[in-house]
A and B are shown apart, each in its own frame.
Chain A
Amino acid sequence: MNKRKSVSFNAARIWEKIKTPAVVLALLILWELCVRIFKIKEYILPSPIVVLQHLFLKQPDANYNWLIHIRITLTELGISFAITSALGILIAIVLAWSSTLKKIFMPVFVFLNSLPIVAIAPLLVLWFGYGLKTNILIAFLVSFFPIVINTTVGLTEIDEDLLDLVKYLNGTKLQIFLKLRIPNSLPYIFAGLKISSTMCVVGAIVGEFIASDKGLGFIIIASQYTMDSPPIFASLILVSVFGVALFGIVAALERMCMPWYFRVRERG
């Protein structure tokens, strides 16, 4: 009786560990079967095996140089996410510090965020030139807004009683900021960073569509021209892996920066 219990307990633990890869694998197998059973043409939907072959094996009819393109996309992603996080948080702090500045600039940021980036990207190339820096700018424009909004909320939505208490104890504006507002905003900042991390990936790829001769976005657009679908899907897989990885890094940082938050949550 005891033994059986531990076996089922083990099985549950193993399932807990492998459930995500197992579901992914099952979806891949389903995809492969669909392509084979319905004889779907390659340009409409290539099979996952063909896609993975394009990613990992040397192709007789093309030379994809994945590493070069991966390096470029990762560089754009790294730089743009670093700039987005730093600037986004800084902007939010300024806006939370001064309600006048907030009134003036918030509409500007809303305006910037509502611009359809695909429509203005060619103009950005015209203004700022061709290549890496414009791609980074595009990624920034796509992804900075969630950080600004979330951080501003985190900095301003403080428990009124707590605020009154610190004021009663003659706390300065700076002290309130450092001891109260910033710690309070951390969960909001990380929520914003998580959204921005995935949007940064989208921005970098859109930038490569418009103004680049390197990067995964360029592989996608160049392969679209010849309706060569396997490298498009291979690039998409890489792009999504990067997105998940960046998201994972932010989540790990979150645990490191606010252990108390998770302790409370786990207890609760």
Chain B
Amino acid sequence: MGKRIFSILAVSFLILAGLTGLSAETTKINFLLNWTISGDHAPYYVAMDKGWFKEEGLDVNVMIGQGSGFSVQMVDAGKAQIGISDAPVPIEARAKGAKIKIVGIIFDKHPNCMFFWKDSGIKVPQDIKGKTVAVPASDGHKVMWPAFAKMIGLKPDDVKFINIDPTAKPAALGTRKADVVFELYTGKPFMEKAVPADQLGYILWADYGFNAYAHSYIANEDFMKNNPEALRKFLKVSYRAWQYTLNNIPEAITILSKYHPINRDDFVANLTAVKEFFKTDRYKNYGIGYIDPARMQDTIDIVKEKGVQMNPDPKYYYTSEFLPSPPYKFDF
């Protein structure tokens, strides 16, 4: 009899356990990329492929992006809960009332870069005075150029801009339609298709004092309030995947190519260039994604200089409370 009661108890316990297991439901997250698929999107597919999001009870739907402005709109509207955006864009949007905050950094070093033919005689960024620069109208480079120009002692209109489609950047330089092309350093492997590698010159803005943050994770404010644990888990898995991806680039790209029609060799080159922006003492000591208050202030100041009415509290624009603890450090 005792045995029977025991087995009934055991069975009902199992059923209960099963029910509670079911009720621990998964959280659905729409995650919006900043652009069409590139090498730096591999971590999310690594995490998906290895089941890391699932382990944390997350059902992540990765969506292809249309640039930072689009990311900000979609996350503000709640069509995506989390997105990737260039840091100054969500800061400006937040100042103007968008319900979003920066919750983590992706690239620690700013990837803004200028490319040119070596025979153009450009050695330092000041040399581009009077040159023709090709850049799309809504490109982050163009938005941040006035701040950088001031930093290097030029006036914003010291160069002549021509407007091109983002995909036409390498061709514009290859055919010498422009003297200089503003493009992220991560685009270098594709520039080398249009200009021979030994004749391609480049200058990273970050090497001349451009300290602002670039690619960052932004989150919808309601989502932060209602699902703080889901956001925390998302960032934990993402930074874990970043650490893994940076240490296993070819494998990460092979995984990405299971999901998307990409050229693996091109993407390995692209992601290897991306890796440069994670090789910093900050990420080594404080972990990938760490938000440095001083650099965030620099980023906020860039927006302020455009004449935007700003909230004086920097914490109005970002929060570090969802970053993983302990952090995922990157020992390069």
A199 contacts the other chain (CB 8 A): no
Query: 1/0 per position for B52-90, CB-CB distance to A under 8 A?
Result: 000000000011101000100110010100000000000
Select which of B37, B66, B257 is within 8 A of A225 by beta carbon: B37
- Judge whether B261 and A222 touch: CB under 8 Å: yes
Query: 1/0 per position for A219-238, CB-CB distance to B under 8 A?
Result: 10111111110010000000
Chain A hits for B190, CB < 8 A: 225-227
| Given A221-B36, A225-B38, A62-B263 contact (CB < 8 Å) | yes
Residue of B30, B190, B261, B267 contacting most chain A CB atoms (<10 Å): B261
Restricting to B245-269, which residues have a CB under 8 Å from any CB of A? 257-258, 260-267
- Interface size of A in residues (CB-CB distance below 8 Å): 29
- Judge whether B261 and A225 touch: CB under 8 Å: no
- Judge whether B35 and A225 touch: CB under 8 Å: yes
- Judge whether B193 and A43 touch: CB under 8 Å: yes
- Interface size of B in residues (CB-CB distance below 8 Å): 32
Select which of B62, B189, B263 is within 8 A of A213 by beta carbon: B62
| Given A63-B258, A63-B261, A126-B79, A226-B266 contact (CB < 8 Å) | yes
Chain B nearest Cβ from A72, distance in angstroms = 12
Chain B hits for A225, CB < 8 A: 35-38, 167, 190
| Given A130-B79, A227-B193, A62-B262 contact (CB < 8 Å) | yes
Q: Which residues of B contact A (CB under 8 A)?
A: 30, 35-38, 62-64, 66, 70, 73-74, 77, 79, 167, 170-171, 189-190, 193-194, 257-258, 260-267, 270
Ordered by A's residue number, 25 sampled pairs between the chains whose C-beta atoms are within 8 Å are: A41-B193, A43-B193, A43-B194, A44-B171, A62-B264, A65-B261, A122-B66, A122-B70, A122-B73, A126-B70, A129-B79, A130-B63, A211-B63, A213-B260, A218-B64, A222-B262, A224-B167, A225-B35, A225-B37, A225-B38, A226-B190, A226-B262, A227-B167, A227-B170, A227-B193
